[in-house]
């Protein structure tokens, strides 16, 4: 009998015992192609020798030093490397242990920034429907997925949620993609004015929406308009790249594709590539300066901030990505994956949309292609596909509730950047089998 508290008490998952490149191997010797990188985590696969050595060397040298007393060499070097490649005037890095901690830190920093500048009335956060920003209470409140929020709603702070930029469903037939993006962005200005133009502290969004919507990128011009609106009203722009960042979309930072830079940026998942738990919040010079010139103390903290082994692992991961050209490889292999998916499923009667950037791809399933009508939630289609794919030896990330937290099904793919052409064929073949069986 296991004493581990599992994700689902009625599930009995196999035991993973080893990793080999893009594959995970269970105790019975069965190999699973990690087509979702877990949850868009394992960008380098599961057996990168350089990263493993970096972890081993750091553990042998220094395992832990509390940041209340000391900093560490790998944390300092990793921060330098990230800022050297970061967009805009991002200048400081706050290392945490995962994505939810990163977004919690961002929310609290946004609030304190306005306090330090003498604007305590700025208290509102605006985010988007069908977003996901983490599972701690602050991050969950910012997220706009109703299914995740529902049972914890009485515990959540009040956050406004505007429309997402979801072209497949929301763009009108007689509307250009650009015009649709401008219309969607206008929701932000309207909500700022409704709440009070000097009362909003931040707007939070994912450049490419991940788990809850299935790799939905914004249309061209949307985020540039969002940036203009934020600047007009003194609202901080927080971009959540926990899932879509760190090379996943073919750019080291996903927002580079949209030509914008945030005031605060959150990363995790691919930052450590699964070799250690780590996340980070990056902030601009202006925000850091406001704290430094004010109280000098960010009233926040976690025990494992800047953990030496975690930052050593992440340093090795980011160096590996840059030195081996794996961010560009993510872009190139992503186009190959997209082409293979379109060739196999582009005319499938139950595939409505195939989308994404880089090696971050989503397939939205529909009961009717013409009307874009989703399947009845009672069918549990996403769960069936996940199970069938797993039995076939493919780990993918199907989810339900794509449209509104209840209706809609999609499959998220986020394989390691090191995958080969032959493995793209393996993904498509096994996914085809799973979808066919499930339908």
User: What is the Cα Rg of the chain in Å?
Assistant: 21
Q: Is the distance from CB of 107 to CB of 140 less than 8 angstroms?
A: no
From the list 408, 418, 388, 414, the residue with the least C-alpha distance to 168 is 408
Query: Looking at the predicted structure, is the pLDDT value of residue 357 above 90?
Result: yes
Give the pLDDT score at 326: 98
What digits encode the pLDDT tens for the residues 129-172? 999 999 999 999 999 988 899 999 999 999 999 999 999 999 99
Element (H, E) at 352: strand 351-357
What six digits make up the tokens of 168?
């497949």
Give the pLDDT score at 350: 98
Q: How large a percentage of the chain has pLDDT more than 90? A: 98
Q: Is the distance from CB of 94 to CB of 280 less than 8 angstroms?
A: yes
What digits encode the pLDDT tens for the residues 220-279? 999 999 999 999 999 999 999 999 999 999 999 999 999 999 999 999 999 999 999 999
Give the pLDDT score at 264: 98
Query: Looking at the predicted structure, is the pLDDT value of residue 341 above 90?
Result: yes
Give the pLDDT score at 435: 98
Bridge partners (DSSP) of residue 373 are 368
Query: Looking at the predicted structure, is the pLDDT value of residue 31 above 90?
Result: yes
Report if pTM > 0.95: yes
d(CA 214, CA 91): 31
- The DSSP symbol for 219 reads P
Q: Is the distance from CB of 89 to CB of 151 less than 8 angstroms?
A: no
Give the pLDDT score at 146: 87
Bridge partners (DSSP) of residue 175 are none
Mean pLDDT of the chain: 97
> Residue 124 to residues 38, 127, 129, 435: CA-CA distances in angstroms?
33, 10, 16, 42
For residue 390, what pLDDT band results from cuts at 50, 70 and 90?
A: very high
d(CA 272, CA 42): 8
Give the pLDDT score at 418: 98
Residue 364 makes CB contacts below 8 A (sequence gap 6+) with 168, 214, 351, 352, 353, 354, 355, 402, 408, 409, 410
Residue 101 makes CB contacts below 8 A (sequence gap 6+) with 134, 136, 279, 302
Q: Is the distance from CB of 59 to CB of 309 less than 8 angstroms?
A: yes
Query: Looking at the predicted structure, is the pLDDT value of residue 1 above 90?
Result: no
Query: Looking at the predicted structure, is the pLDDT value of residue 47 above 90?
Result: yes
Query: Looking at the predicted structure, is the pLDDT value of residue 11 above 90?
Result: no
């Amino acid at each position: 009998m296991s004493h581990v508290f599992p994700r689902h008490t009625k599930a009995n998952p196999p035991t993973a015992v080893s990793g080999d490149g893009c594959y995970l191997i269970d105790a019975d010797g069965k190999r699973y192609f990690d087509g979702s990188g877990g949850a868009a985590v394992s960008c380098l696969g599961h057996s990168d020798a350089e990263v493993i050595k970096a972890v081993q060397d750091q553990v042998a040298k220094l395992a832990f030093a509390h940041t209340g007393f000391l900093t560490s060499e790998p944390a300092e070097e990793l921060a330098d490397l990230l800022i050297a490649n970061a967009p805009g005037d991002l200048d400081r890095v706050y290392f945490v242990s995962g994505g939810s901690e990163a977004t919690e830190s961002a929310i609290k920093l946004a609030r304190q920034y306005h306090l330090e500048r003498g604007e305590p009335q700025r208290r509102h956060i605006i985010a988007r429907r069908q977003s996901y920003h983490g599972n701690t209470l602050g991050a969950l409140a910012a997220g706009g997925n109703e299914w995740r929020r529902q049972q914890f709603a009485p515990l959540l702070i009040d956050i406004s949620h505007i429309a997402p930029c979801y072209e497949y469903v929301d763009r009108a037939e007689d509307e250009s993609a650009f015009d649709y993006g401008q219309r969607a962005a206008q929701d932000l200005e309207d909500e700022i004015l409704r709440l009070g133009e000097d009362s909003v502290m931040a707007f939070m969004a994912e450049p490419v929406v991940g788990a809850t919507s299935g790799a939905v990128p914004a249309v061209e011009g949307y985020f540039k308009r969002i940036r203009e609106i934020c600047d007009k009203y003194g609202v901080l722009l927080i971009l959540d790249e926990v899932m879509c960042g760190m090379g996943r979309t073919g750019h080291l930072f996903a927002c580079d594709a949209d030509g914008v830079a945030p005031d605060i940026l959150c990363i995790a998942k691919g930052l450590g590539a699964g070799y250690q738990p780590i996340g980070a919040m990056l902030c601009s010079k202006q925000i850091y300066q406001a704290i430094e010139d004010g109280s000098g103390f960010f009233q926040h903290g976690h025990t494992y901030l800047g953990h030496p082994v975690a930052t050593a692992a992440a340093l090795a991961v980011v160096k590996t990505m840059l030195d081996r050209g794996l961010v560009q490889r993510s872009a190139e292999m992503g186009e190959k994956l997209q082409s293979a998916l379109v060739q196999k499923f582009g005319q499938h009667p139950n595939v409505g949309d195939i989308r994404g950037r880089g090696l971050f791809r989503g397939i939205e399933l529909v009961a009717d292609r013409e009307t874009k009508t989703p399947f009845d939630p009672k069918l549990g289609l996403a769960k069936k596909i996940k199970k069938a794919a797993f039995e076939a030896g493919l780990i993918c990330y199907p989810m339900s509730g794509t449209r509104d937290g209840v209706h809609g099904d999609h499959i998220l793919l986020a394989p390691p950047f090191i995958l080969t052409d032959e493995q793209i064929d393996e993904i498509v073949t096994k996914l085809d089998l799973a979808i066919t069986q499930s339908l």
